[in-house]
Structure 1
Amino acid sequence: MRSLPNVLAIVLAGGEGKRLFPLTEDRAKPAVPFGGSYRLIDFVLSNLVNAGYLKIAVLTQYKSHSLDRHISQAWNLAGPTPQYIASVPAQQRRGKRWYNGSADAIVQSLNLIYDEKPDYVIVFGADHVYRMDPAQMVEEHIAAGLDCSVAGIRVPREEATAFGCIQADGMGTITEFVEKPADPPATPDDPNMSYASMGNYVFTAQALIDALLEDEKNEDSAHDMGGDIIPYFVKRGQAHVYDFMANEVPGSTERDHGYWRDVGTIDSFYEAHMDMISVHPIFNLYNQNWPIHSTDDSNFPPAKFVQNGIAQSSMVAPGCIVSGGTVRNSVLASDAHVADGATVEGSVILPGVRIGRGAVVRRAILDKNVVVSDGAIIGVDRERDEERFKVSDGGVVVVGKNQKV
């Protein structure tokens, strides 16, 4: 039997998520609830676990309590085995400072790599919505024989200006890596498409250590994985692009193959939810061949609809009660209640929300435990909404955690 390489996965989960405020006012971005029954971090952890990678360190920093609790409860690998999913806080191991960038986060956690002695290190972000088999990327990294691999997703060139972009030759070797270029480089086989970096990397372990230690000495560096470490490998001809479209996830359909969303803004967060609720969803949560794992709803009973309460083209999580209300084109997370005569339309409702009698909620995101009083109206009068709440550029109203409307 062929022995498998020793792989350590590091998940970068320390970002503040300022553009998702107020959803990140009280929690780290990877801990933001998503899709009714999940948190954002569940997607990357599910991808790693489904691929068989069970040595995972999650590097946390800002407002990490709910994230740490979620990992300990939902991702506990019990038993006397070498497998673990561990939340690792900033520890100031290399001086009295917190993380000064994603590369510095790994430098300050090099003890994890030294202790594990892996052959390869996976470094993935914690706040994207997608399915991927990381084992296929690791296999291609090994076959390419280079020190670094960067996952690239194909996007139209005119849209690639918002991303870190990859220029590669016909063999897949990266020749240039540029952040948000005005003229994005084309892929080798299609002049109309560009490779955008997904923020997912695979490294040969010793090469990563060498790069991080050299970067640590550079006072001009921002100590960022995408901005500093990847260019380090590109300059040496040691970076390879992994085409995300080549990744074949069991159970995926032609419609959701290659789906990936950076939900870093309120509008992208909202749109990713809308992607899931169509009859033939762009992102299919119901693929049991590659499940997205979570246990947030384990203690709730099934959803209940009484007094002619209805939900159309919507996803309704366990514990919800729709009593005489109407829900359309929406996602209701666990333990949300919609009362008699209330209307919820085109909205994302997070756990524990209460929507009172006759209330109207349209094109809105209601954070955890929000209470909408009887007859209150959200998402109808933009001018009034802007006086009370955050309204995104796309017109999505966001009501922060624990507020009463």
Structure 2
Amino acid sequence: MQNTVTVILAGGRGSRLEPLTRDRAKPAVPFGGLYRIIDFALSNCLNSGMRKLLVLTQYKAQSLDRHISVAWRNYFCRELNEFIDVVPPQQRIADSWYQGTADAVYQNIYAIERERPEHVVVLAGDHIYKMNYKAMVDFHREQDADITVGALRASEEEAKQFGVMQINDQQQIIGFQEKPDQPQCIPGEPGVCLASMGIYVFKARFLFEQLCRDATLEDSRHDFGADLIPSAIDTHRVFAFPFRDENRDATGDVKREAYWRDVGTLDAYFEANMDLIHVDPQLNMYDQAWPIRGFQPNVPPPKFVFGSEIEGGGGGEPQRRGEALDSIVCQGVICSGGSVRRSIIGPEVRVNSFASVEDSILFEGVNIGRHAKIRRAIIDKGVHIPQGMQIGYDLELDRQRGFVISPGGVVVIARGERVDHDPVESASQPTPVG
């Protein structure tokens, strides 16, 4: 992989994930307690032996830039020509924001050319999955392909949100439609389509030529799926590479169902997180053969206190017990007499006495006051929930308080949100980006 440069597109707004993306880019949104969404693509790169990475950012990139600096730079050695560079918009070619995925790469073409690569891998930094990119690059070389596209089986309804491909017996792409209203299904498999994962391998010289050509077209959207790939399939060697999941069970066997998630909506994000707390989740985060890396904060281990103690010693007083059941609990958490069930608790969260947290996701530094009750909620970094507050039990009241309610009924409280008992309009206070 020495002659391969990997470009990770990490500049999306993530508007469907607001308010979680109010102060951060979508790839920087926390996932699974300790991780950020981009950690999955970066872990795949590291596990695949890819050591030359350019992360292209755009909107609200400070949090993402800081995360990569503290969590990832130590894995790469400049003296060995390894790097992970965060590249903000340079405006060296144009004075505008990126117009599409192809334009984002085109505007950074000098940074790629400088490494004189033989192949360029382009992938998105906002999906949850495990994949060996080296196998895809090897396939690309074996086919002498100009472009290879990562391919995923998807339902007909899901495929409307992706590029849809048709292939021949040699896996060469003979048709490609970007986000079609009526996707073409795989022959003999009604209701199933072959969808693009947004992962591409290019011959470097071919990529540079196509990007320069596309940049001159006024009617182009400057997008790989909408423009470059459809224009190349009739004249060049364009192949599909079927997704090979590296997700394994406790015995080391590849899981039966391939795992790939676009956590682009609040409900999809919530469900993907909640899957992690199952006894046998679809995504195995404990597989040491394909580890997912992220930032490990230097804080104490989690602590659970007040076991079955009767406060005040009086008869009839409620018991308080610090406990967490069917949950993921990160470093620095203190369950100080509070109860957590079926939830993901981020670093340095405190759940105080007699509080209850169920089916929820708490980001770093959240404080749950005494006797508070939280159900089906996502609470962003550093939010304080007052004593006795109830969230997720009366959605209309939560809506009056100014909280976001997802279509699936998940209450989302943004970072910096003022949380009051009375149904008043919440106000955000200026906070550091994170």
Of 370, 375, 378, 1:362 maps to 375
Of 323, 327, 338, 2:351 maps to 338
Between the aligned partners of 2:234 and 2:156, the Cα distance in structure 1 is: 24
1:191-235, Cα deviation, whole Å (9 max, x unpaired): 442112111111111111111111100111111122112212223
Matches within 5 A, 1:249-268: 253-255=253-255, 258-268=258-268
Matches within 5 A, 1:371-382: 371-382=384-395
Please say if 1:212 is aligned against 2:186.
Answer: no
Partner of 2:129: 130
Deviates more, 1:365-374 or 1:151-160: 151-160
Task: Specify the code of the residue in structure 2 equivalent to 1:348.
Answer: I
Between the aligned partners of 1:249 and 1:238, the Cα distance in structure 2 is: 30
Partner of 1:279: 279
Query: Which structure: larger Rg?
Result: 2
Deviates more, 1:160-169 or 1:26-35: 160-169
Between the aligned partners of 1:159 and 1:69, the Cα distance in structure 2 is: 34
Matches within 5 A, 1:170-209: 170-188=169-187, 190-209=189-208
Between the aligned partners of 2:2 and 2:172, the Cα distance in structure 1 is: 23
Contact 2:371 2:387 in 1 (8 A): yes
Between the aligned partners of 2:31 and 2:386, the Cα distance in structure 1 is: 24
Between the aligned partners of 1:55 and 1:133, the Cα distance in structure 2 is: 16
Contact 1:13 1:126 in 2 (8 A): yes
Partner of 1:312: 325
Matches within 5 A, 1:20-169: 20-76=17-73, 77-78=76-77, 80-169=79-168
Please say if 1:325 is aligned against 2:359.
Answer: no
Q: How far apart are residue 291 of structure 1 and its match?
A: 0.6
Taking structure 2 as the reference length, the TM-score comes to 0.89
1:374-402, Cα deviation, whole Å (9 max, x unpaired): 11111111111122211111111110002
Residues 218, 277 of structure 1: CA spacing in aligned structure 2 closer, same or farther, 3 A cutoff? same
Contact 1:338 1:355 in 2 (8 A): yes
Partner of 2:314: none
Contact 1:174 1:237 in 2 (8 A): no
Q: How far apart are residue 237 of structure 1 and its match?
A: 4.4
Contact 2:14 2:26 in 1 (8 A): yes
Between the aligned partners of 1:361 and 1:202, the Cα distance in structure 2 is: 45
Residues 53, 176 of structure 1: CA spacing in aligned structure 2 closer, same or farther, 3 A cutoff? same
Between the aligned partners of 1:342 and 1:256, the Cα distance in structure 2 is: 39
Partner of 2:403: 389
Contact 1:256 1:281 in 2 (8 A): no
Partner of 2:8: 11
Between the aligned partners of 2:297 and 2:188, the Cα distance in structure 1 is: 47
Task: Specify the code of the residue in structure 1 equivalent to 2:260.
Answer: W
Residues 256, 79 of structure 1: CA spacing in aligned structure 2 closer, same or farther, 3 A cutoff? farther
1:130-175, Cα deviation, whole Å (9 max, x unpaired): 1111001111111122211111111222432232211112211112
Contact 2:130 2:246 in 1 (8 A): no
Deviates more, 1:179-188 or 1:19-28: 179-188
Between the aligned partners of 2:228 and 2:81, the Cα distance in structure 1 is: 29
Between the aligned partners of 2:104 and 2:380, the Cα distance in structure 1 is: 29
Task: Specify the code of the residue in structure 2 equivalent to 1:404.
Answer: R
Please say if 1:403 is aligned against 2:417.
Answer: yes
Please say if 1:292 is aligned against 2:292.
Answer: yes
Deviates more, 1:37-46 or 1:76-85: 76-85
Between the aligned partners of 1:156 and 1:105, the Cα distance in structure 2 is: 29
**5+ residue gaps in structure 1?**
none
Between the aligned partners of 1:391 and 1:167, the Cα distance in structure 2 is: 39
Taking structure 1 as the reference length, the TM-score comes to 0.95
Task: Specify the code of the residue in structure 2 equivalent to 1:270.
Answer: F
Between the aligned partners of 1:344 and 1:88, the Cα distance in structure 2 is: 39
Provide the aligned C-alpha RMSD in A: 1.6
SS state of the match for residue 200, structure 1?
Answer: strand
Task: Specify the code of the residue in structure 1 equivalent to 2:16.
Answer: R
SS state of the match for residue 368, structure 1?
Answer: coil
Task: Specify the code of the residue in structure 1 equivalent to 2:324.
Answer: A
Contact 2:130 2:245 in 1 (8 A): no
SS state of the match for residue 84, structure 2?
Answer: strand
Contact 2:165 2:173 in 1 (8 A): yes
SS state of the match for residue 80, structure 2?
Answer: coil
Task: Specify the code of the residue in structure 2 equivalent to 1:235.
Answer: D
**5+ residue gaps in structure 2?**
307-320, 420-434
Partner of 2:311: none
Between the aligned partners of 1:253 and 1:357, the Cα distance in structure 2 is: 45
Residues 79, 55 of structure 1: CA spacing in aligned structure 2 closer, same or farther, 3 A cutoff? closer
SS state of the match for residue 223, structure 1?
Answer: coil
Q: How far apart are residue 96 of structure 1 and its match?
A: 2.0
Between the aligned partners of 1:79 and 1:272, the Cα distance in structure 2 is: 36
Contact 2:48 2:132 in 1 (8 A): yes
Partner of 2:365: 352
